[in-house]
Amino acid sequence: MTSVQNATRLTAASSADSAVQVLAAALLGMAVLFGVGFSAMPALHNAAHDARHSVGFPCH
């Protein structure tokens, strides 16, 4: 009985951890995308030029 309870707790903790990881990755990705997408710095523009156009950010 104890091992079943421990396995249930471990599964619940694992799914909660993975949800936090997915959310953190999504937020980081959005921050990078919008940071580069709306940047006016030429170095960032040139580094991410094709990616800007592929996601719909007009740049010129």
DSSP string, the chain: -HHHHHHHHHHHHHHHHHHHHHHHHHHHHHHHHHHHHT---HHHHHHTHHHHHHTT----
| pLDDT (0 to 100) of residue 55 | 76
In the predicted model, residues of the chain with pLDDT beneath 50 are: none
Q: Distance between CA atoms of 32 and 51, rounded to whole angstroms?
A: 12
| pLDDT (0 to 100) of residue 21 | 94
| pLDDT (0 to 100) of residue 6 | 58
- Does the reported pTM lie above 0.85? no
Domain ranges for the chain: 25-60
